[in-house]
A and B are shown apart, each in its own frame.
Chain A
């Protein structure tokens, strides 16, 4: 993969980093990490032309395993940081990564408002249905009767129906893929990078150490590419239905997308017609005109 896809375009090795990966054998993070790099390369984005924002968890340990401008923040809080960064410089693509623990427990409020705000960023959910890095506690997406670290009897709460919940927020982009399918992840992430607005990408991720219910093999058996089966991703009702119903098969691909709605930045009245970004506008500003209104 050292042949650039475009003349002078980025190569996979431009994203390579000397730090060794520390994930468990068979961890889904390897596949996601590879697909992220591939999607950036295939989108023609060089490392200095992207900001990758990581939450805390096993996935966050990717923050120093590739190049690009990167941020590794606080548990559950990556979305508002990334949104602030994006609004300061909307010209820079931003990919944001968070686990199911961070995104559906600690920081679920941020997810709700990020979808609602339609911030023009990509959000990748590393969905392994448990808290891996803290040694396998249940998350709100863990299946209900699974025994987990600190839940010897399984969790009493019912599992949060994440897709139904997400669709209730009227998202503009919802995709699902799985950590064993690098080509599909790459295509989905490339589409997410191009999306006008908030792109939610749910990556079902194998966690061989802690998750013994939704395994790599389970995903291989159950996942199907809905787009290949002719699913119309503009059909909200149908998309919600196939996203939610995973009882027999798990739909993957771009499940829903609409681009007729402006993103958050586009909606900001004071920014209409401005060619510069807030980053470029920083200077000591003369307020003489504004002072007059107090005389």
Chain B
């Protein structure tokens, strides 16, 4: 795959995101697939931040550590990011007084890196434009270097500033200035993009949070309660910004316990309600999850992971809360834990999560992470035709309601342990949703017989759920896409990778590269990636079969302990000794993972690797 990377760096609030977004949109419309990745610090203004776009005419799902163009809004980028520029790359900056050290100059010369100094202040002064206009000026230089047409950029600007006529005029002048500058000062500098492909033009460009928000709206969510916490806040923001279109009830609660309780109350009443938080907030929500388990109230909680413990690394990413999700909250009860891995999952799994919650009357926890929440995906329009609407044993018909007895609500004899559910306000026998151990109509009952019967009723639902949820999904390197199981014979693999969540993107990109031009000692290696979406109840039969036939099996996770590996071992005894683990707050980057997986392909490969970006 031919790909390039553009990284825009600067202080938070300087316009890094706006340049990133406008470039992304323009390049997508020009026929490229974009993967956008943001890094920033937990401050509002001033912290060093970056927005990287990886661009290709084929599907790109990961971030390259080396970039072709580095844009520096201020000198910090020149200090901190210069080593990320690949040989022959370009640096654009606007610090005219910047002096490279002798060593740096030599290095840049050796690497044939071209530096372009844009006299932003001077140009803006000439145009009598405010500093914010520098964004468009920089964008137009990048645009020119990529060989893209000025008209395309003008069109984007006129869309963005349609309602602000004077600002639009200045933006247009900046575009002209940017192109004129590049023609004059950098006429022979060009960053070659691969041939464009029109399949990308009409795709959406959206973050995982936006995809998840659309998924929630699609699923029929009519109530959202949340408390701000990165990286769940972008979902709250999107849902809240959409409320005047969707008519949804949106409540910014006073804390996470409130958000959890409100969503639970709304679900109990019979709407579809959602809440989302990150680790610390989820800790606070856990008692409410336990409550929902005993009153058999369907709920969906989104857990957007970031590195802990405590406040940890608030604006960075991790897959460190899997074990928490599968074991959070007191008491024994069935639950479903699933994880999204990209924008498509974010959309599709929302209706699925609600269907599971309502079918089984259990808490469902949907894992995401900062990487997915804020990454920018080039995504085909979501297919809405496959969505099902399942509400399980919810009784709403008048005749059926009239037949109900209060003891139907928590009937321990109910098939699959799933008893009938009906909503407050329905003309029927009334029951109590009882947080104490209760008998069939919700009355408190502390007898040993009843305690046993009700525990068994609830746990039976877990066993049935385990039957109903799908196995992990196998992706194979020759295609890089989901493959159907061909009969019963499992493929014989050179390497079987096991993982979940956001690491799927870089893993698939790496697999594709290795199968096309193997860097490894194995020629045209056959690599399989077993991706876990449904993490609890955990299914390991497919894994065990595949692992038996694979030369090597490696676990890849964004945490220290190899948490999925622990769950697998707990479930079936299989010990995945080879692990690639990363726990420095950063996602897996394409090139580092390519190297690590290549190592694993050779028999003498390292048994354990962990990354820290120095």
Contact = CB atoms under 8 A, between A and B. Distances in A.
Contacts of A269: 243-244
A72 B269 contact: no
Interface string A143-178: 000000000000000000000000000000000000
B430 A63 contact: no
Interface residues of B, number: 72
Contacts of B271: 88-89, 277-279, 281-282
Contact of B266 (A88, A112, A265): A88
B384 A84 contact: no
A282 B272 contact: yes
Interface stretch (A43-51, A193-201, A225-233): A43-51
B249 A287 contact: no
Given A81-B265, A288-B384, A294-B206, A70 B442 contact: yes
A285 B347 CA distance: 12
Interface string B507-541: 00000000000000000000000000000000000
A286 B384 contact: yes
A294 B205 contact: yes
B132 interface: no
A77 interface: yes
Contacts of A281: 220, 222, 247, 271
Contact of B432 (A48, A72, A286, A294): A72
Given A61-B444, A285-B220, A69 B262 contact: no
B269 A88 contact: yes
B261 A285 contact: no
Contacts of B295: 71
B266 A85 contact: yes
Interface string B418-457: 0000011111101111111010011110000000000000
A270 B265 contact: no
Contacts of B501: none
B425 A294 contact: no
B20 to A, nearest CB: 15
Q: Interface residues of A toward B: which range?
A: 35 or more
A73 B262 contact: no
Interface in B208-231: 210, 214, 217-220, 222-223, 225
A217 to B, nearest CB: 32
B251 A87 contact: yes
A88 B222 contact: yes
B185 interface: no
B502 to A, nearest CB: 20
Contacts of A249: none
Given A73-B291, A278-B266, A288-B384, A270 B389 contact: no
Interface string A280-295: 0111111110110011
A208 interface: no
**Candidate in B225, B261, B287 with the most chain A CB atoms within 10 angstroms:** B261
Contacts of B254: 109-110, 112-113
Contacts of B425: 48-49, 51, 69, 89, 91-92
A274 B379 CA distance: 33
Contacts of B273: 84, 88
A132 interface: no
B258 A284 contact: no
Nearest to A55: B435
Given A80-B257, A278-B249, A291-B204, A70 B262 contact: no
Contacts of B351: 284
A44 to B, nearest CB: 15
Nearest to B287: A74
A64 B220 contact: no
Interface in B586-608: none
A12 interface: no
Given A64-B443, A72-B435, A84-B223, A270 B270 contact: no
A212 interface: no
B43 to A, nearest CB: 27
A175 to B, nearest CB: 24
B246 interface: yes
B360 interface: no
Contacts of B443: 19, 64
Contacts of B381: 288, 291
A270 B424 contact: no
A277 B511 CA distance: 49
A77 B431 contact: no
A83 interface: yes
Nearest to A61: B444
Contacts of B576: none
B249 A80 contact: no
B302 interface: no
Interface in B259-289: 259, 261-273, 287-288
Contact of A67 (B210, B248, B430): B430
B149 interface: no
B202 interface: yes
B467 interface: no
A268 interface: yes
B220 A284 contact: yes
A83 B250 CA distance: 12
B244 A270 contact: yes
A112 B204 CA distance: 43
B262 A84 contact: yes
Contacts of B40: none
A90 to B, nearest CB: 10
24 contacts: A48-B427, A64-B432, A64-B434, A64-B438, A64-B444, A70-B431, A70-B442, A72-B435, A72-B436, A81-B262, A84-B262, A85-B269, A88-B249, A89-B270, A89-B424, A279-B269, A281-B271, A282-B222, A282-B270, A285-B220, A287-B218, A287-B382, A290-B217, A295-B205
> Can you list the 6 inter-chain pairs with the closest CB atoms, starting with the nearest?
A84-B265, A84-B262, A294-B204, A278-B222, A80-B261, A69-B424
Interface of B: 202-206, 210, 214, 217-220, 222-223, 225, 242-251, 253-255, 257-259, 261-273, 287-288, 291, 295, 351, 379, 381-382, 384, 387, 389, 423-428, 430-436, 438, 441-444
Given A84-B266, A291-B381, 9 more contacts: A61-B444, A70-B431, A72-B436, A73-B435, A81-B262, A84-B265, A282-B222, A283-B389, A284-B219
